[in-house]
Structure formats: C-alpha cells, structure tokens
C-alpha cells in the first residue's frame, strides 16, 4: 500500500486500478485478505486525496462463481468494477469460439453444438443484481484469436498449440496478404460477432474477432443497461485503423 501511494502521489494520478487475476476458486482466507487489502488501500488513499478513486478488474463470471472478489463487501470501497468481458474462448481453446460473445448462451432445448456456455448479456445481468449499474464498466477487446482448425465453420475444432492472439491490425492485413487464399468473412447471429477463415499452405485457419458492428452491439448494451462506460484491452491493438472508435463515440451521444 505504501509503495502504491508513493507512486500515486508522485505521478499525481487520478485513481488506482487493481488487477489481481487470481485463477480458480480462492480460499476464504485469500478472498477475505483481498477485501482487507482494498479497504486499507482506500482508507490510506483518502488520507492523501479526499477524491481518491479505486477501480477493480474482475472476471466476467465473478457474479456467478466464487471468485477472489467479494462484490458486496468491495462495493463501498470501489468507484468502478471493470468486467473483463473477453477471453470467453482463448488461444488454448479446443474450439474456435468468439472472444466476447454478447449473446448465445445455451437455453433449454438448444443444440449444444450451436450455442455457447456463457455470454456477456447474462453476466452483466448478474452483476447488475449486486452492483449499482453506474459502477459497472464493460471491458471490450480490440483483438481476437486465430487458430488452425479442422474446417472453416463457426466453433470449428482447433489443432492444439496453434492458437495465437490476433490484433485488429493483424486481421486487416490478411485481406492483402498474397500468400493467403479463400478468405471468407462471416457474421455469427449466435454471438453477434464476426469471424473469418482462410487457407494457407493447404491448411485452414479461423479467426474470431470484433469489428465496428459487434462493438456497436456492445455499446447498445452499455447504454440500455445504464452502465458506467467501457474499458478497452488494449488501446493500440487497432493501430493504424480508427474505425473501431466510431461506435464508441456513440457513448457520448444522448
């Protein structure tokens, strides 16, 4: 706490962001210890600056599962909770699924091969039952994941060890790469997000990512649910393309 506040004061920062990404289910001692840390950090910070703000990054399923973050206990000390609503599928996944699916969670009677285990709408609804909506920040990705896959279909099986992060600039470069063929860009009505496939060296690859249309859908959720705003992981992944900022500009419009 002392070292954090020294940096906070020396750099004249507006606030403090806490990003402890504890994997798995913590012990009660660890969970309570994190809450104790945040409460003491906030109290110490207020002695320096009466307007001190603390934000906490949380996994998207933290209102559903027993995670590090005791949301009701942390709420009085926290200005915003940044819901990291991405990495629903990741480079190690055995299926090429959407990184940040707004919709698509399986419902009774759905075919499991055509729906998803989780989606953002469900998770934000769960957070909204515990936290004030204005304290919820929706984290959105400026990236996707790329895999070698068994075929070019949505949720295609992936080859182990082939997954990698694909920045927005990487995705745009595919359309001008002479070594790549059979590029096909499609829209998933399941997750409300795009994906594309291509062929290279007689192998099939698939990328799940975000574009202007999918981000516009997420901005609609932010506005309709009266959330506190958005966070981006990570600014710079879109460079030199600026179109991803167009739907974000809508947040400032009534």
Q: What is the pLDDT of residue 254?
A: 61
Rounded mean pLDDT of the chain?
A: 96
Q: What is the pLDDT of residue 112?
A: 76
- Of 83, 51, 53, 87, the closest CA to residue 69 belongs to 83
Chain segment 86-96, per-residue pLDDT in tens: 999 999 999 99
Q: Which two tokens stand for residue 61?
A: 């399923």
Neighbouring-strand partners of residue 65: none
> For residue 234, is the peptide bond before it cis, meaning its omega torsion is within 30 degrees of 0?
yes
Query: Phi/psi of residue 220, each to 5°?
Result: -60, -40
How far apart are the C-alpha atoms of 100 and 210, rounded to whole Å? 8
Residue 233's CB is within 10 A of a number of other CB atoms, namely: 16
| Chain position carrying tokens 């919820």 | 136
Stretches in the chain below the pLDDT threshold 70: 254
- The pTM (predicted TM-score) of the whole model is 0.95
Chain segment 149-167, per-residue pLDDT in tens: 999 999 999 999 999 999 9
Chain segment 16-59, per-residue pLDDT in tens: 999 999 999 999 999 999 999 999 999 999 999 999 999 999 99
Q: What is the pLDDT of residue 247?
A: 95
Q: What is the pLDDT of residue 62?
A: 98
């Amino acid at each position: 706490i002392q070292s954090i506040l020294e940096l906070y004061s020396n750099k004249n920062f507006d606030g403090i962001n806490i990003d402890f990404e504890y994997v798995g289910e913590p012990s009660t001692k660890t969970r309570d210890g994190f809450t104790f840390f945040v409460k003491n950090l906030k109290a110490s910070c207020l002695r320096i600056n009466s307007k001190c703000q603390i934000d906490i990054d949380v996994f998207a399923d933290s209102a559903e599962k027993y995670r590090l973050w005791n949301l009701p206990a942390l709420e009085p000390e926290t200005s915003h909770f940044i819901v990291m609503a991405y990495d629903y599928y990741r480079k190690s996944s055995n299926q090429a699924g959407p990184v940040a699916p707004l919709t698509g969670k399986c419902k009774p009677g759905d075919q499991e091969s055509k729906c998803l285990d989780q989606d953002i709408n469900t998770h934000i609804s769960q957070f909204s039952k515990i936290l004030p909506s204005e304290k919820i920040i929706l984290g959105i990705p400026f990236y996707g994941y790329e895999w070698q896959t068994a075929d070019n279909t949505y949720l295609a099986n992936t080859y182990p060890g082939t997954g990698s992060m694909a920045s927005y600039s990487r995705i745009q470069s595919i359309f001008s790469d002479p070594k790549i063929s059979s590029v096909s860009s499609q829209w998933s009505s399941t997750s409300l997000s795009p994906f594309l496939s291509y062929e290279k060296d007689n192998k099939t690859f698939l990328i799940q990512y975000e574009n202007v249309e999918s981000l516009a859908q997420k901005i609609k959720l932010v506005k309709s649910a009266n959330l506190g705003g958005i966070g981006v992981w990570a600014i710079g992944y879109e460079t030199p393309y600026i179109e991803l900022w167009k739907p974000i500009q809508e947040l400032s419009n009534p």
